[in-house]
Structure 1
């Protein structure tokens, strides 16, 4: 069937709009942090000046003190989280419209793969990071999401078109969807481990005037971040492993062998082994916390290497990047 260029243009518009709204959410979160940092600095100055608590206006004998309004940084953070749903809706709409435009499952090139993986990461973030204590993480999660989406919309972009003959299989939506969702989960796990290491550098209750310490204090405690990284890796590990197995089954159907040590297959397996090592280290006394977090980050680096270097630089049977 011919490509519907009108729907394809709407998909591209939704994708670009999603980036703009994600950027708006990120700016709101940065402003929230700046306001909270400023308020904290002012409170420290008041304490240093010996200014005690003041009686709220209108309070006194026989009067009920007015209910204090929620601080502006908290209100701004709640607004950012609400706007995030608009960005995610546009993100998902771009994927759906791309599928209608091409009359196939929208996972035929790197642009579509990254779009799906980042949507999976944000969706998982909305599910796991909806509590107030996790709101400080969103600015950090949006950074890699925005970078990946920017690269997808520029360097990796491919016009809506039919897939190459090798991808015209019912295995495409099964195998690649599972792999992309697993990659999105590992994105959240990698950010959690990175923030865990940052939080360890600023122990709970420690005071610091430097910007790094101020950022760390806006994050959940180190134990919470460590548990989040562990939980998300437990989710992503079997998903990604299933994707590798399904890919092997597809390879046997398409190429007559389950495994051929193609660069994409090899690096995917290496990344999976690294995450297996992380889960083992996380459960081993003496390797918990810092050492296991570095292993988790190594797995995330392997995933990025597999996505960009293997797909763009190295030639192999999986060279379906869709790039000119």
Structure 2
């Protein structure tokens, strides 16, 4: 099927516009953070929150967050821009698929775009449901960086996929990987924020920054619940990839660099879920394991194809 160059051009324009809008949304979120003040307030019990101190008369105090109506308004404007960015991003993915007449994740550029779209859509749902807008700038930061990398270093013009990828397994395997990878980006960010908040609640560290974050318990539960959803999808994607590999290459598993990195990431997340369910390994230890899984996923998503060569290198897909 010939490529529709007009739709392909619209896709590229939408992609670039989405990145710009995401950056603007980040700017609004940062202004909201800057306008959100903290102050010390008398507390009945000092032990309830880390970072407390005493007033001159010895009464215990603790830091509290004060979000002004102006800060809230700017934050809502950032969320509106975020939604506009998602619409443009989805348009870029859809028009790329229509232009090529196939699923729009047949190379690294398209695949990265799909993963980031899943991550942003998933985040908007979580931010709305659990009132987590204050974390949006930290979620958008790695997504914007990955989109910028995809749109520059990894950009590929719209074209039909190579014969080896002309299989229904492309839609099954890579779709599952895209959804799972996009979801698993979110608990990684939540776990990083958890470490800051936990340090604040325990020792009062990073008070000016961490006090604006949700509670450590909330961040821990968020990371765990999203991982519970993403991990089975990732497991299915690995199994589907092995079945496709047997059909295409005559073996289920060959320790190709991308296969190996995917397996390492799978093991890390399995260890995290086990650690999170074990009382002695909850908290900081589990969060660090989840962050390692996040790093492994990002490395496998983008960088493994840039630094190694293997059976996946011809397509750049997971």
Shorter-chain TM-score: what band?
0.7 to 0.9
Q: How does 1:23-34 map to 2 (within 5 A)?
A: 23-34=23-34
Q: What secondary structure, in the 3-state scheme, does the structure 2 residue paired with 1:223 have?
A: helix
Match of 1:229 among 204, 223, 226: 223
Match of 1:110 among 101, 108, 111: 108
Larger radius of gyration: 1
Asked if the contact 1:274/1:296 (under 8 Å) is kept, the reply is yes
Partner of 1:122: 120
Q: Return 5+ residue gaps in structure 2 as ranges.
A: 43-54, 56-66
Q: Return 5+ residue gaps in structure 1 as ranges.
A: 49-68
Partner of 2:139: 141
Q: Which runs of 4+ in 1 moved over 3 A?
A: 40-44, 320-323
Match of 2:262 among 255, 263, 268: 268
Q: Structure 1, residues 37-68: CA drift from partner, whole Å, max 9, x if none?
A: 3xx46999xxx9xxxxxxxxxxxxxxxxxxxx
Partner of 2:281: 287
Question: How far, CA to CA, are the matches of 1:25 and 1:42 in structure 2?
Answer: 30
Deviation at 1:224, TM superposition (A): 0.1
Higher strand share: 2
Question: How far, CA to CA, are the matches of 2:306 and 2:263 in structure 1?
Answer: 18
Deviation at 1:305, TM superposition (A): 2.0
Question: How far, CA to CA, are the matches of 1:205 and 1:19 in structure 2?
Answer: 38
Asked if the contact 2:112/2:302 (under 8 Å) is kept, the reply is no
Q: What secondary structure, in the 3-state scheme, does the structure 2 residue paired with 1:130 have?
A: helix
* TM-score (norm. length: structure 2): 0.88
Asked if the contact 2:269/2:289 (under 8 Å) is kept, the reply is yes
The 1:141–1:258 alpha-carbon spacing in structure 2 relative to 1, beyond 3 Å, is same
Match of 2:160 among 156, 159, 162: 162
Question: How far, CA to CA, are the matches of 2:300 and 2:19 in structure 1?
Answer: 24
* TM-score (norm. length: structure 1): 0.86
Partner of 1:57: none
Q: What secondary structure, in the 3-state scheme, does the structure 1 residue paired with 2:13 have?
A: helix
Match of 2:290 among 292, 296, 302: 296
Match of 2:211 among 201, 217, 229: 217
The Cα RMSD (Å) is: 2.2
Question: How far, CA to CA, are the matches of 2:314 and 2:187 in structure 1?
Answer: 27
Question: How far, CA to CA, are the matches of 1:204 and 1:296 in structure 2?
Answer: 20
